[in-house]
Amino acid sequence: MVAKITNGMSDWFGWFPASTFENNTCIFVPSMANTCVFDTKEGLVIYDVPIRQFAQKTFDQVRSFTSKPVKYIIYSHGHFDHAFGYGPFIEEIKKKGWDMPEVIAHENCIRRFEKYEILGKYHDWINKQQFASVSGRGRDAVVSARETLDPTIILKGNDSSYSFKLGDVNFEIYHDIGETDDSIWLWVPEKKTICTGDLMVSSFPNIGNPFKVQRYPKDWAIAMEKMREKNAEYLVPGHGRLIEGTEKVRDALSITAEVMHFVHDEVVKRLNEGKWFEEIYHEMLEIYPDKFRNHKILRGIYGCYRFAIHATYRLYHGWYNSGNPTDLFPAKTDEIAQELLKINSEEKYLEHAKKLYSESKKQLALHVLDIVVKGTDGKNGETLVEALKLKAKILKEKVKNETSFIAGNIINNAAHQIKERLKELKSNK
Ligand SMILES: [Zn+2]
């Protein structure tokens, strides 16, 4: 199952070798997220440090190319796979008596670190869910998102930017919101290189992630267009391989901007038409153009278009999203199911779910099965076991056809929980 859920994700996870470009002056080290090191006469500028578990590996790879001291570390944003693998670099600095580097981030990155302090356990739980197929269910969190190396140069406000020169290389840093509110991207004119952080992940933007806070489709599109003006020859994405060649870089930025404008503007149009989420969502699925669906850079292998519809809706809409006052202060779903089971037996619902399944109406079958699973009083053990088995089977089939790693993990985790419950029911017999 791991193989399936991670299908097409090997580049995203950085499972390919480190390399250099621009006459060995830029070092590209993949390790889940990408690290890019600029080797100047006066020392190194590092854009993004890796996930903590891979810090030593990344450090060793950088040191196989250059021995110069680290002068700057830039955080594209404060996620665990971009700002926590600084350890070996700092240890080396202390050991060699070098000056501590400047650490550059946006002020919202500091707020993010503070948030991780109060929500540490919750974030550990989320990461376990989201990355279950690669991190394993029983193991510790992917990384503890605490113990930070705090920024020394802090970009403030919405339109902030910062530039500096090291050796004879200029570094221009810009803040734009997109995946997060603390993103900063880097333009290095002498190297014709843009580092994007997770504003570009070589697949559909991670917007509308079911576990995560609000993200910003329109601003994301605008950030892509600002990057495009630089006419870069190299684009270092947050995840995935180096994008090389002016045309390829331009195309990747353009199509991403275009899809973000599309999803934003089409949802907004429907909000203005007085439509509720369900209608908007299903209409949006109908109108998704093939030019986006078939574009390599927009593959929905991590984030996906379906999530992006949620992201845009949530940006402008409150939590009352059905337009049906029954849903404003709803009863417990277990109790609703219990009432439905008073009208018809568990066997009848199970039978109907089987029929739906046989007609390939799997999603509808799941809804009907939930009446049995949620409403059961447990007396009719055989029916419950059969309902759970069919639910697990449908979920597993959905995982097989699911392109998104995140969605795949959510569904697969639930199938696993059902299997655990079935084991429990068997042992209680
Ligand atoms: Zn990332």
* d(CA 331, ligand 1 centre) in Å: 38
Confidence grade of residue 48 (pLDDT, cut at 50, 70, 90)? very high
* d(CA 396, ligand 1 centre) in Å: 27
Confidence grade of residue 137 (pLDDT, cut at 50, 70, 90)? low
Instruction: Select the more confidently predicted residue: 258 or 12.
Output: 258
Residue with tokens 């009432």: 339
C-alpha to C-alpha distances, 338 to 296, 351, 376, nearest whole angstrom: 47, 17, 7
Helix, strand, or coil here: 203? coil
At residue 201, does pLDDT exceed 50?
yes
* d(CA 54, ligand 1 centre) in Å: 14
pLDDT tens by residue, 374-406? 999 888 789 999 999 999 999 999 999 999 999
DSSP state of 204: S
Task: Return the pLDDT at 145.
Answer: 58
* d(CA 82, ligand 1 centre) in Å: 6
* d(CA 274, ligand 1 centre) in Å: 36
* d(CA 176, ligand 1 centre) in Å: 16
Task: Return the pLDDT at 144.
Answer: 60
* d(CA 77, ligand 1 centre) in Å: 9
pLDDT tens by residue, 331-378? 999 999 999 999 999 999 999 999 999 999 999 999 999 999 999 988
* d(CA 185, ligand 1 centre) in Å: 13
* d(CA 406, ligand 1 centre) in Å: 13
At residue 428, does pLDDT exceed 80?
no
Q: What is the mean pLDDT of residues 162-178?
A: 97
Per cent of the chain over pLDDT 90 is: 84
* d(CA 289, ligand 1 centre) in Å: 27
* d(CA 123, ligand 1 centre) in Å: 15
What's the mean per-residue pLDDT of the chain? 94
Whole-angstrom Cα distance, residue 350 to residue 361?
14
At residue 146, does pLDDT exceed 80?
no
Residues 6 or more apart whose CB falls under 8 angstroms from that of 223 comprise 176, 177, 178, 183, 185, 199
Q: What is the mean pLDDT of residues 303-328?
A: 96
Confidence grade of residue 95 (pLDDT, cut at 50, 70, 90)? very high
The model's pTM is 0.93
* d(CA 237, ligand 1 centre) in Å: 9
Under 8 Å between Cβ of 48 and 33: yes
CA atoms within 13 A on the CB side of 328: 4
Please spell the DSSP secondary structure of 297-315, one letter per residue: GG--SSS-HHHHHHHHHHH
* d(CA 428, ligand 1 centre) in Å: 43
Residue 192's nearest CA partner among 239, 257, 244 is 244
User: 236 — phi, psi (to 5°)?
Assistant: -95, 105
Task: Return the pLDDT at 3.
Answer: 53
Q: What is the mean pLDDT of residues 294-316?
A: 96
Task: Return the pLDDT at 181.
Answer: 96
Under 8 Å between Cβ of 342 and 308: no
* d(CA 33, ligand 1 centre) in Å: 5
At residue 251, does pLDDT exceed 50?
yes
CA dihedral 204, 207, 210, 214 (to 10 degrees): 180
* d(CA 264, ligand 1 centre) in Å: 22
Here the tokens at position 123 are: 């974030």
* d(CA 317, ligand 1 centre) in Å: 27
At residue 136, does pLDDT exceed 70?
no
Task: Return the pLDDT at 1.
Answer: 46
Number of Cβ within 10 Å of residue 400's Cβ equals: 14
Under 8 Å between Cβ of 33 and 81: yes
H helix intervals, 273-300: 277-287, 290-293
Q: Which of 177-181, 288-292, 423-427 has the lowest mean pLDDT?
A: 423-427
* d(CA 12, ligand 1 centre) in Å: 9
Residue with tokens 């040191």: 63
Task: Return the pLDDT at 147.
Answer: 81
Confidence grade of residue 134 (pLDDT, cut at 50, 70, 90)? confident
